[in-house]
Structure 1
Amino acid sequence: MNNKVLISLFVAVVVLVGGFALGKKQGWWGKPKGAEVTAATAGPASIVEKVSASGKVQPETEVKISPDVSGEITELYVQEGDSVKKGQLLLRIRPDNYQAAVSQQTAMVGTQRANVGQAQAQLEQQTANARQTELTYRRQASLFKQKVISQADYEAAQAAYNASQEQLRAIRAQITAAQSNVRSAQAGLTEAQKNLNKTTIYAPVSGTISKLNVKKGERVVGTSQMAGTEIMRIANLNNMEVRVSVNENDIIRVQLGDSADIEVDSYSTQSEKFKGIVTAIANTAKDALTAESVTEFEVRVRLLPDSYRHLIKTGPGGHSTVPFRPGMTASVDIIADRQSGVLSVPLAAVTTRSDSAAAKTDDSNRGRS
């Protein structure tokens, strides 16, 4: 009796489990809860396509200043952040060696000019001697034809005449060489004077000292020797831009003149947003560090002054303080395309079923015929 009961119970359990599995498979119970959606009326809206990138704030114009000559900085008249005018004296390099070179070349010019004068005096003397020798030769030639003098006397006069002419040509060549030496020495003097003048460095443009790499007493290398020492940079901080790297998949959507929304990290806590415009797009991709690096192109976005004018402050001396500094990090959304009046619904009203998106429509408000 007990065995029959156990068998019956076992069969009942098997039937229940099988029925549950079949019902689950057929979807009789245990269906997942449907996705919640928001009902909204489809209507026209503006659709904006953006290309996002990040980069650094930099001045549009920045001049790197390196000395043309080498030496020790004896005077430094500016500090980083100072405003300078074009032609303003920035620093001096010790001029001693260059002054000595000028003195040496000046002496060389004087020596070569003296050589020219000496050679010209010799030319005058030799010219007079050559005239006298020529007269003697002509007279002896006439007498020889008349058979008044011997062959030996005639040949002696002829030899003296030829020698005087040869000496005359030699002195003229000496004068030409001396004059060439004068020109060479004069060129050396001009170069030495230029190098001496280059020991004082003036601002080539007006702007702000955005970077200062040297101090008084340091030695710098001139550009005549490889790249030279970069001593400072002068930038126009009134015109700033953001230089961003855009992926090659997005670069074809960016055009010159596209507007942009810019957020600078330094002002993120103040919820400041700035406007910009694309002013330059690189034609060549940036150099990749590795073979696996993403291909990117540099895009320059100008910060429009009207969007940050309220942040400009007037400092001591009436100088305006620009709110941005070179090297600040910024995020940029470039408006690649904008379409108005596009029929659209909120994303919350769209569901995905069987790997396809669909928007459920409500026909209750349709007009009846």
Structure 2
Amino acid sequence: MGQLFMLTRMGSWIKRHKVWSALIALVVLFVLYKIIAPTPHDYEYTGEKVGRGEVLRVVSASGKVRALNTIKVGTEVSGQVTKVYVDFNSPVTAGQILAEIDPTRVRARVQQTEAQVALARAGLQQTAANVLRARSELEIQERDFARQRDLAQRGFVSKANLDAAQTRLNSARNALDVALAQTQSGNAQIRQATAELSSARLDLNRTVIIAPASGVIIDKLVEPGTTVAASFQTPNLFEIAADTTKMQVEASVDEADIGQIVEGQNVTFTVDSYPDDVFRAKVRQVRKAPVETQNVVSYLVIIDVDNLDGKLLPGMTANVEIITGAKKNALRVPTNALRFRPKAADRGPPVEEQPAKPGKKEAPRQTLYLAGTDAYKPVRKQVRIGLQGDEYTEILSGIKAGDTVLVRTKSLKPKAETDDTDEDDSAAS
């Protein structure tokens, strides 16, 4: 009875206040709609189709372009450079004269040593004459001693005369030995003076700087009038690139990546001068000597490249990519799809991982999220991956071509609310 009375009074109030009743009804309906209706999402997931194509694994590095064979031309004599016959970029051939050093001092030394050789030879002739004279004197003393000995045996000469003859014989022998020693000394002096003469003549020839090999002058360090000193080390005058049609890149590879580098791998690189040109090369050598810079260890990788068009110049900076693995026509997905995770509220229950078969080495497993029938209910898949590159990763099993893998989360909020950021990739769980 009480409820009926309340309904009767409410009905009469509604009849008397039709406008207010309508407004109250609209407010109640709006509140119920807000409570019941789903809240629209302010984001969406972006995906890419799974397809086939090339998968590349590369190691990035930087290095310098160098001539394959660079020759530094110096001088072993000191003096003033009087003439320079070449300039930068001058082509030269083996044996070509590059420069000349003032030969006055070296020529005077040659003349001085020539005089020493002549003096030594004259001294040798004199000692040779002394040897002949000593031999003659020895023969005379030997005959005289023999006569004195015979006479002494017959009693015609005293013992004192025989001793005097023996003394003269010994003196003659000593004189011959001295003359022979002087001859040996004279021969040694001639050999010494001749060696000094050869050295002086060699230095005289070295005042003319010649190219040891054919190539191109890439550096010139002297001008006429420059004084060079070759006292402690050989000063460099020129630098020749022996063959500019073949160059090499000396790339510095981090120790974390050096284990992937082997001889013969394909390489691509660019230089700042030609950013649209991609140069192709091959790894020739991995040098095992470590280079440590600010506690960072790296290794030098030598890369050979043809330079038939002459675009590459020594000293250019090369941005190198060494291809350490390649698969063609592989089922692939973007590599960032392996790192993508949807928002926590949209993730389904975890997929139970299948245990690996004992004794069998299997490919590593990763988790991917595929687009489902509901845009906000991604399908979680476990896949086996093969070759993993920076851009794409090979998929061995778990999905098929044509599937759509999610790669990022895109915000639908106005830019003013998102601080000009329209993408927000969720972190991996």
Residue number in structure 2 paired with 1:281: 286
Residue number in structure 2 paired with 1:38: 47
Tell me the secondary structure at the aligned position of residue 61 of structure 2: strand
Per-residue CA deviation, residues 132-178 of structure 1 (Å, 9 max, x unaligned), is 11111100100000001112211111111111111111111111111
Q: Is the 8 A contact 1:37 1:348 kept in 2?
A: no
Residue number in structure 2 paired with 1:233: 239
Per-residue CA deviation, residues 312-360 of structure 1 (Å, 9 max, x unaligned), is 3xxxxxxxxx222211122111111102343223468664145985222
The runs of 5 or more residues in structure 2 that have no matched partner are 1-36, 348-365, 374-399, 401-429
125 and 77 in structure 1: CA distance in 2 versus 1, 3 angstrom threshold: same
74 and 287 in structure 1: CA distance in 2 versus 1, 3 angstrom threshold: farther
For residues 106 and 335 of structure 2, the distance between their equivalents in structure 1, rounded to whole angstroms, comes to 75
One-letter amino acid of the structure 1 residue matched with residue 297 of structure 2: T
Q: Residues 245-260 of structure 1 correspond to what in structure 2 (within 5 A)? A: 245-260=252-267
Are positions 1:100 and 2:69 aligned together?
Answer: no
One-letter amino acid of the structure 1 residue matched with residue 47 of structure 2: T
Q: Which has the higher contact order (CA 8 A, sep 6+)?
A: 1
TM-score by length of 2: 0.69
Residue number in structure 1 paired with 2:90: 82
Q: Is the 8 A contact 1:220 1:228 kept in 2?
A: no
One-letter amino acid of the structure 1 residue matched with residue 66 of structure 2: Q
Per-residue CA deviation, residues 188-237 of structure 1 (Å, 9 max, x unaligned), is 11111111111111110100001111111101122xx3322111100021
287 and 86 in structure 1: CA distance in 2 versus 1, 3 angstrom threshold: farther
One-letter amino acid of the structure 2 residue matched with residue 340 of structure 1: K
More strand by share: 2
User: Which has the greater radius of gyration?
Assistant: 2
Residue number in structure 2 paired with 1:324: 312
Are positions 1:138 and 2:146 aligned together?
Answer: yes
One-letter amino acid of the structure 2 residue matched with residue 150 of structure 1: S
Are positions 1:125 and 2:133 aligned together?
Answer: yes
**Once the 2 structures are TM-superposed, how far is the Cα of residue 32 of structure 1 from its aligned partner?**
6.0
For residues 158 and 180 of structure 2, the distance between their equivalents in structure 1, rounded to whole angstroms, comes to 34
Worse-superposed segment, 295-304 or 78-87: 295-304
Q: Indicate the RMSD between aligned Cα atoms, in angstroms.
A: 2.4
Residue number in structure 2 paired with 1:262: 269
More helix by share: 1
One-letter amino acid of the structure 1 residue matched with residue 341 of structure 2: T
1:150 maps to which of 123, 145, 158: 158
Are positions 1:342 and 2:330 aligned together?
Answer: yes
Are positions 1:65 and 2:73 aligned together?
Answer: yes
One-letter amino acid of the structure 2 residue matched with residue 115 of structure 1: G
Are positions 1:179 and 2:187 aligned together?
Answer: yes
197 and 348 in structure 1: CA distance in 2 versus 1, 3 angstrom threshold: closer
Q: Is the 8 A contact 2:47 2:371 kept in 1?
A: no
For residues 337 and 108 of structure 2, the distance between their equivalents in structure 1, rounded to whole angstroms, comes to 86
Tell me the secondary structure at the aligned position of residue 263 of structure 1: strand
Are positions 1:188 and 2:177 aligned together?
Answer: no
Per-residue CA deviation, residues 242-269 of structure 1 (Å, 9 max, x unaligned), is 221111111111111111111110112x
Q: Is the 8 A contact 1:277 1:304 kept in 2?
A: no
For residues 61 and 154 of structure 1, the distance between their equivalents in structure 2, rounded to whole angstroms, comes to 83
Tell me the secondary structure at the aligned position of residue 160 of structure 2: helix
For residues 345 and 245 of structure 1, the distance between their equivalents in structure 2, rounded to whole angstroms, comes to 30
Residue number in structure 2 paired with 1:352: 341
Tell me the secondary structure at the aligned position of residue 341 of structure 2: strand
The runs of 5 or more residues in structure 1 that have no matched partner are 1-27, 313-321
For residues 326 and 147 of structure 1, the distance between their equivalents in structure 2, rounded to whole angstroms, comes to 101
**Once the 2 structures are TM-superposed, how far is the Cα of residue 76 of structure 1 from its aligned partner?**
0.6
In percent, how many aligned pairs have the same letter?
29
**Once the 2 structures are TM-superposed, how far is the Cα of residue 60 of structure 1 from its aligned partner?**
1.0
TM-score by length of 1: 0.80
For residues 297 and 337 of structure 2, the distance between their equivalents in structure 1, rounded to whole angstroms, comes to 37
For residues 347 and 232 of structure 1, the distance between their equivalents in structure 2, rounded to whole angstroms, comes to 51
For residues 236 and 38 of structure 2, the distance between their equivalents in structure 1, rounded to whole angstroms, comes to 78
For residues 119 and 197 of structure 2, the distance between their equivalents in structure 1, rounded to whole angstroms, comes to 13
172 and 348 in structure 1: CA distance in 2 versus 1, 3 angstrom threshold: closer
Tell me the secondary structure at the aligned position of residue 184 of structure 1: helix
119 and 39 in structure 1: CA distance in 2 versus 1, 3 angstrom threshold: closer
39 and 335 in structure 1: CA distance in 2 versus 1, 3 angstrom threshold: closer
Tell me the secondary structure at the aligned position of residue 80 of structure 1: coil
For residues 267 and 100 of structure 1, the distance between their equivalents in structure 2, rounded to whole angstroms, comes to 55
